[in-house]
A and B are shown apart, each in its own frame.
Chain A
Amino acid sequence: MAAAPQRHAGVKPSRLEEARAQFARYKEDVKERGKPFYPYAMFHDTVMSLVVVSVIVGLAAIWKWTSYGPHHDGTHQGLLGPEYTAPADPGTTSFVPRPDWYFYFLFYLLRIFKWPESVFLGTVGVPTICLILLFALPFIDVRRERRLLHRPVAVVAAALTILSMAVLTWKGATAKEALASEVIADVPNWVKAEKLPQNAVPGARLFATAGCTACHTYLGTGSSNLGAPDLTQIGTRNLGIDFQIRHLKCPSCVVPGSPMPKFESLGEERLRQLAIFLEASKGKQ
């Protein structure tokens, strides 16, 4: 056999040399022991493709059959959502925009960065960094090792990525807005659950429509994204109707440093209704 260049004892081959040798070995092994792509591997591919096509057709069928019936058109909410929503209205004041499911993680990321200074981090910063890391992966992880148990950093990073994507997607899918049109439907439930007196009902309606639930929660309704206190049993603190009115007019005058906006513009009469409702809220009865 021809004498190959002899390696000096103790001198380790460079990483690239090792990788090249391994690839040469790979090619040799495949040539010796591999099997032809067709039909062995291709059979599996074909079965998998059949599954994929069936799933696509199946989803299309479920979409259609659960959202379409004799009395409704494609805007009916089926198992997989409506086939189409109302026509685009750039002037809407009641629509709640949501992206397609695979952008939920980004959607929720935008809600996480809720400080004005950090907006561009959520919109372009984090996604760009993730994309750069993704592109650069082969140049960050240059070791030859492929076995999972020998790549702890990679495995932990992958697990964390999947976990955070899953959490963000889940949070994005379940993120709720507290909009007047939706919250007002809950008012009868509030009256029942908290045994509200009749004179507190106009205040409850006002509470539901005036945007209070954009920051506060009440019996689980509303958005706690901004961290305002829960008002389910605010009445148990017995702050008094006059205090409530003064507080609504100018929160930061009564509680220094309060970030709550002023609700003066609602007028004395409506503020009184709100205050009656708040004082009557003693929690679940």
Chain B
Amino acid sequence: MAYRRPPTKAQLRRQRMEALVNYPLDWLEERSGLVGGVRYFLFRKVPGDVNWMQTLGSAALTAFIVQAVTGVILAMYYKPTPNEAYRSIQNITDHVTLGWLVRGMHRWGASVFIILMFLHMGRVFLFGAYKYPRELNWIVGVLILVLGMMEGFTGYLLPWDQTAYWATVVGINLNGTAPFLGPFIAQFLRAGQEIGADTLTRFYSLHMMLIPGGIIALIGLHLYLVVRLGVTSPPWSKEAAGMALADEEPQPLRPGLTRPVPRGIAAARPEAGGSK
């Protein structure tokens, strides 16, 4: 071992400071491994050519978080009974400090969330990012979209104004026209044969707990699959990761990009590259 100059006082102080800062992180890492997990999530490699369109998924997640936060706060003031609901919405909108802002964010955040999910889905379609091995993640994504629409439907009733009430009447009766099971689904949603107090609390519970719980779980699964399977390159990118363009490009850019013979099946790299 080479001779090392003893550390200066400043260096020692710096080391001690670092140790102090790192101590809680090390403590957490030793007991949970969470720090390593976050580190893996943050520093995992993504293709070098990812572009702005690929931010739509995280943007949708942001919109969902806005919905969750504002929703919890609205629940502090909202009263889910037919006699109180409308007045509590008036109260939130007109009297509670910044109530208009929180309710407005929740109402418009819902639209933004839905739009972003559709845009994100369009991006995935455009990139062909639902193909092997990401089929399952597409299905999970569609499930999140469906649950998001259900959130929109159940939340729409809660202000208990004319628009809300009649949109819900039609929505429930839509389900009622499904062959065979429809009338039962409608009566289940309505909590009886007519819309009443139980309908409102039922929608409130679905909107607040069951559906958001499902969405959160599915977002977790969605993200896990994204991390596990990686992010796709734009298909038009010249250096798209994993592209095999043998038939299209006579001049190979580099052996790895244009090899016609897939790696796992054919002989090892150099030989295969030479003999087409």
**Interfacial residues, chain A to chain B (CB-CB below 8 A):** 1-7, 13, 16-38, 40-42, 44-45, 47-49, 51-53, 55-57, 59-61, 63-64, 68, 73-74, 80, 83-90, 92, 95, 97-103, 106, 110, 119-120, 123-124, 131, 134-135, 137-139, 141-148, 151, 154, 158, 162
For window 91-139 of B, CB contacts with A under 8 Å fall at 93-94, 100-101, 103-105, 107-109, 111-112, 114-116, 122, 125-135, 138-139
The reply on B44 being an interface residue by CB < 8 A is yes
Bound-state CA distance A173–B18 (Å) is: 60
Q: How distant is A51 from chain B, measured CB to nearest CB, in Å?
A: 8
The reply on B78 being an interface residue by CB < 8 A is no
Interface 9-residue window, one of B7-15, B47-55, B207-215: B47-55
- Given that A17-B265, A146-B128 are known contacts, is A37 also in contact with B242, CB under 8 Å in the complex? no
Residues of B within 8 A of A38 (CB): 42-43
The reply on B241 being an interface residue by CB < 8 A is yes
The reply on B22 being an interface residue by CB < 8 A is no
- Given that A23-B132, A74-B93, A123-B174 are known contacts, is A85 also in contact with B163, CB under 8 Å in the complex? yes
Sampled A-B contacts (6; CB under 8 Å) = A48-B58, A73-B90, A98-B167, A131-B146, A138-B131, A143-B131
Q: How distant is B62 from chain A, measured CB to nearest CB, in Å?
A: 4
A-B contacts, CB under 8 A, total: 276
**A36 interface neighbour in B42, B58, B169, Cβ under 8 Å:** B42
In the bound complex, do residue A7 and residue B266 qualify as a contact, i.e. CB atoms below 8 Å apart?
Answer: yes
In the bound complex, do residue B63 and residue A56 qualify as a contact, i.e. CB atoms below 8 Å apart?
Answer: yes
Least CB separation from B61: chain A residue: A49
In the bound complex, do residue A52 and residue B116 qualify as a contact, i.e. CB atoms below 8 Å apart?
Answer: yes
Residues of A within 8 A of B112 (CB): 52, 55-56, 59
Residues of A within 8 A of B152 (CB): 100, 102-103
Residues of B within 8 A of A80 (CB): 108
